[in-house]
Amino acid sequence: MPRKLRFVDDRYPVLGARSGQTTTLWEITTPVIDGRYLLRPDDDCIDIILGVLAQAQRWWRFDVYAFHVMSTHWHLVAGFVSLGQKARVMRFVNGEIARRINRLRGRSGPLFQRRNTAIQITSDAHALQRVKYLMSQGTKAFVVRHPDEDPFASSTPWLLRGQPLRGTWWGEDGPVVGVVEISPLPGLAHLSPHQQRDVMWELADAIAKEERPKRKKAGRKLMGAERARTIDPRTRKAPEPKTPPPVIHGTAEQARAWREAYGEAENAYKAATAAFRAWQADATTPMLRWPPCTLAPAFAYVEAEPGGEARAGP
């Protein structure tokens, strides 16, 4: 089955707090291979993950709005200036987390199951919903009663209490302690930091209230933070029914518009690829540019001249 086209609908821009440039918002999910608990929230694992994220922010000025690392998968809500930046950041973050967690767990081989799933967020309301979803992970999984008790590596300590998210990056020059910087959601940027935390506490309290009757109905006991930290990382989570993800996190009208734009971009992408293949066989054949809302294939991508556009070619 061919890969889904990497595509961005640029009709929903926001101003990046860290970059000062136009960005788009994404929720990105990466599952651990075979549903294993390899990202359990012991102190060393949390230190590694926060250190990698902090280092990524030093090298690429992108906005992190929220993240949550469960033992079997992790979520990120972030803003990127381009598809290329998103690809580079996620390749670095997932690659470094995999390499360092494998060393910690005394294992080899892939840590993550497949390429991450990235879904564009197209409205302020849906961005807030996604932050609430990430914040609810430990409570929904019956680990803790309230997000404030969550033991996992996440943005929740900063969002609720302003607690710095420090981690260690072990590079060639030794350890560097970094802090993951959490940007305010664009829809909340007009509020003071205190008011933003009030909004986050309202979300957290609502999560605890919503999940309490679900836990009682399921007859489940809480796992507890200590059990989550010490569970055997080789444990496998039971498979769950899979549902297709939405095309975007936005309104129904935005989803329809996204599908139309995606279809047009996909046709243009196929035409550009066919033209490139024809050019390889006959250099007199004119080439076509890949659509700017997609990520051109690595085998045929050439950086633009200063002030020019990126184009396909050898």
Q: What is the pLDDT of residues 183-200, one digit of tens each?
A: 999 999 999 999 999 999
Of 149, 98, 121, 113, which is closest to residue 35 (Cα–Cα)?
A: 113
Whole-number Å distance between alpha carbons of 223 and 66: 24
Please name the amino acid found at residue 42. D
pLDDT confidence band for 2 (50 / 70 / 90): low
pLDDT confidence band for 119 (50 / 70 / 90): very high
pLDDT score recorded for residue 227: 95
For the entire predicted model, the pTM comes to 0.92
pLDDT score recorded for residue 293: 94
CA distances from 46 to 53, 70, 79, 138, 168 (A): 11, 11, 22, 15, 9
Per the prediction, the chain carries an average pLDDT of 92
Annotated domain spans of the chain: 14-250, 256-312
pLDDT confidence band for 305 (50 / 70 / 90): very low
Residue 311 has pLDDT above 80, yes or no: no
pLDDT score recorded for residue 157: 98
Handedness of CA 77, 83, 85, 87 (dihedral sign): positive
Q: What is the pLDDT of residues 233-271, one digit of tens each?
A: 999 988 877 888 999 999 999 999 999 999 999 999 999
CATH code assigned to 14-250: 3.30.70.1290
DSSP code string of the chain: -PPPP-B--TTS-EE-TTT-SEEEEEEEEEEBGGGB-TT---HHHHHHHHHHHHHHHHHS--EEEEEEE-SSEEEEEEEESSHHHHHHHHHHHHHHHHHHHHHHHT--S-SB-SSPEEEEE-SHHHHHHHHHHHHTHHHHTTS-SSGGG--SEESHHHHHH----EEEEEETTEEEEEEPPBPPPGGGTTS-HHHHHHHHHHHHHHHHHHHHHHHHHHTPPP--HHHHHHS-TT-BPPP----PPPSEES-HHHHHHHHHHHHHHHHHHHHHHHHHHHHHH-TTSPP-PPPTTB---GGGEEPPPTTS--EE--
Residue 309 has pLDDT above 80, yes or no: no
Q: What mean pLDDT is predicted for residues 28-44?
A: 96
Residues 197 and 160 sit within 8 Å (Cβ to Cβ): yes
Q: What is the pLDDT of residues 50-83, one digit of tens each?
A: 999 999 999 999 999 999 999 999 999 999 999 9
pLDDT score recorded for residue 141: 95
CA distances from 15 to 41, 63, 105, 212, 273 (A): 33, 10, 39, 37, 32
299 versus 283: the higher-pLDDT residue is 283
